[in-house]
């Protein structure tokens, strides 16, 4: 049965882990198209995986600062339901991507402290969903997937007009507290269900989904 809080498992690269996410009730499965990431899935692989995802589970493509040519090429191959923009895309770029591809866009915003909060409002105006993630640690090479949390009290009790997802360092141990503190109705994670960077584990995926309230 699907948990009440909708869950996205991101960075899937094998049929076994996609099947684990789907059967344990994930609402979204994510494919990572960031070449430098250990979670990268080549478009042909992602296409094969995506074709096996049942109706009712949304397929999300995670990209970082991709231009139209790269997105054209990706979307020719992989049947996606959402694009997740996880780089330094400006609000104007979010609008352009929505208009060009006709797909809903999830825009990631990184939080470290209260100064980062206004960005959520800026993207709320143009994106279909906002993904509220931890800002990468200083010196990190990846824009996300770093397994770090932010101070959830920063967003406790806040309301936005668009659907949003909580991300950043979520694990089986902390997800219930994160949801209770922030009021999130959707959560997203990648490294918290891995045994090594980029290596997802079906048992960890099932345990995480069982722990989501």
Ligand X SMILES: O=C(O)c1ccccc1N[C@@H]1O[C@H](COP(=O)(O)O)[C@@H](O)[C@H]1O
- Three-state SS for 74? helix
Work out how close the CB of 134 gets to ligand X at its nearest, in angstroms, rounded to a whole number: 7
Site for ligand X in 42-61 (CB under 6 A): none
Site for ligand X in 66-85 (CB under 6 A): none
Among 169, 174, 201, 206, binds ligand X (CB under 6 A): 169
Distance CA 116, CA 54 (A): 37
H or E element at residue 108? strand 105-111
Size of the site for ligand X (CB under 6 A): 27
- Report the interhelical angle of 15-23 vs 202-211 (nearest 10°): 20
Whose Cβ is closer to ligand X: residue 32's or residue 129's? Answer: 32
Find the part of the chain contacting ligand X (CB under 6 A) among 28-36, 41-49, 71-79, 114-122. Answer: 28-36
For residue 10, indicate whether it is catalytic.
yes
| 179 contacts ligand X (rule: CB under 6 A) | no
DSSP letter string, 140-206? -SSSS-S-----GGGGTT---SS-EEE-SS--TTTHHHHHHHH--SEEEESGGGEEETTEE-HHHHH
Residue numbers at the binding site for ligand X (CB under 6 A):
10-11, 30, 32, 34, 37, 39, 62, 64, 86, 131, 133, 142-147, 167-170, 188-192
């Amino acid at each position: 049965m699907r948990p009440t809080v909708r869950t996205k498992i991101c960075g899937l690269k094998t049929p076994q882990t996609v099947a684990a996410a789907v059967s344990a009730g994930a609402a979204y499965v994510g494919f990572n198209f960031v070449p430098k990431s250990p979670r990268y899935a080549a478009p042909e692989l992602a296409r094969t995986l995506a074709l096996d995802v049942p109706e009712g589970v949304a397929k999300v493509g995670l990209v970082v600062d991709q231009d139209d040519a790269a997105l054209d090429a990706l979307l020719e191959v992989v049947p996606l339901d959402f694009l997740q923009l996880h780089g330094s895309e400006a609000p104007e770029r979010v609008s352009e991507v929505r208009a060009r591809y006709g797909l809903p866009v999830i825009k990631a915003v990184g939080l470290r402290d209260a100064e980062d909060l206004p960005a959520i409002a800026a993207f709320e105006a143009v994106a279909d969903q906002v993904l509220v993630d931890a800002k990468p640690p200083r010196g990190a090479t990846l824009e996300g997937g770093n397994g770090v949390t932010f101070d959830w009290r920063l967003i406790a009790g806040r309301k936005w007009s668009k659907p949003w997802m909580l991300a950043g360092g979520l694990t089986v141990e902390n997800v219930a507290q994160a949801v209770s503190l922030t009021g999130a109705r959707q959560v997203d994670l990648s490294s918290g269900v891995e045994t090594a960077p980029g290596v997802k584990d079906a048992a960890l995926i099932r345990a995480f989904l069982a722990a989501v309230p």
